[in-house]
Structure 1
Amino acid sequence: MVQIAVIWDQGADRAIPLPSYETPGAAGADIRANFAPDFREEGMTLAPGFRALIQTGLRFEIPNGYEVQIRPRSGLALKHGITIPNSPGTIDSDYRGPVGVILHNASNQPFHVAHGDRIAQMIVAPVVQAQFAVVDGLSATARGDGGFGSTGRS
């Protein structure tokens, strides 16, 4: 098991739960909105088509060789059209700043985010870094250089 060191950001509400796996087989740990004191009571409403950075009140120390991926919650996406535009968002192992989640309202209805709401899920994943080399040619494949939609119905 990988351990992620967590500290509270300045002004964070420490009563908000840390990221947690809601079921024994869950791959993603739910992460919550943690608004600054001036916004806790009102939260934030995302108008249709708009996006905003929602703070979590957390900072992570992720072990070298791992990343944290931030992904949408499927229920919010299906029921309310709430997604993450840069999904999956990546938190690198050498980043120590505040963790925020960019939420986008892809629906035609306003969506309210309350203090403490589960807004996303985070996945801890291993990272492999590659070396890049310029070569004279690439090996041939059946697909070749066929682009978008070249393997079937698009």
Structure 2
Amino acid sequence: MNIKIINKSEHPLPQYETAHAAGMDLRASITEEIILKPLQRILVATGLFIELPIGYEAQIRPRSGLAYKHGISIVNSPGTIDADYRGELKVLLVNLSDTVFKIVNGDRIAQMVIAKHETVVWQVVEALGETGRGEGGYGHTGK
């Protein structure tokens, strides 16, 4: 799949790091380092602009290493970039740890997965089909 991209950062384009990776790392494109305090959230620029085909989205997800080692995540995880969005890709990071975290230009801050999605047409009905689970949810199995 070809996707149009504008790169206004000084960093390489996002790429797959392994042959079967689903996500591509996004890098911070900032002029000054960011100190992210505990429980603080901030929008971090990437310098990237994309044009997705209709029927696709870009999902912005946390990097597992940052989450595990430093408690850095994404507030609205996964974030969704819609096919009609043309603005700069930015990542809404949050520091869930009890220590400050420093972000510098070029740091890998998130990953992006391109995914196909469907557009639904609602069919209003009076009843839904029966299943073994029924309305059970939120720990209903007791496990």
Category of TM-score, reference length = shorter chain = over 0.9
How many positions carry a matched residue from both structures?
A: 143
Q: Displacement of 1:116 after TM fit?
A: 0.6
Measured in 2, the distance between the counterparts of 1:147 and 1:75 equals 31
Please, which runs of 5 or more residues in structure 1 have no aligned partner?
Answer: none
Q: State the superposition RMSD in angstroms.
A: 1.1
The share of aligned pairs that are identical, in percent, is 53
Residue equivalent to 1:21: 16
- Check whether the contact 1:31–1:121 (CA below 8 A) recurs between aligned residues: yes
Measured in 1, the distance between the counterparts of 2:136 and 2:22 equals 34
- The TM-score normalised by the length of structure 2 is 0.95
- The TM-score normalised by the length of structure 1 is 0.89
- Check whether the contact 1:76–1:83 (CA below 8 A) recurs between aligned residues: yes
Amino acid at match of 1:33: A
- Summarize deviations over 1:119-152 as a string: whole Å, max 9, x none: 0000011111111122111111111111211133
Residue equivalent to 2:142: 152
- Check whether the contact 1:48–1:105 (CA below 8 A) recurs between aligned residues: yes
Residue equivalent to 1:77: 67
Measured in 1, the distance between the counterparts of 2:115 and 2:49 equals 17
Measured in 1, the distance between the counterparts of 2:99 and 2:83 equals 36
- Summarize deviations over 1:58-80 as a string: whole Å, max 9, x none: 11100111111000000000000
- Check whether the contact 1:65–1:93 (CA below 8 A) recurs between aligned residues: yes
Residue equivalent to 1:137: 127
Query: SS state of the match for residue 69, structure 2?
Result: helix
Which stretches of structure 1, 4 residues or longer, exceed 3 Å deviation after superposition? none
Residue equivalent to 1:124: 114
Q: Displacement of 1:20 after TM fit?
A: 1.3
Residue equivalent to 1:57: 47
- Check whether the contact 1:143–1:151 (CA below 8 A) recurs between aligned residues: no
Query: SS state of the match for residue 78, structure 1?
Result: helix
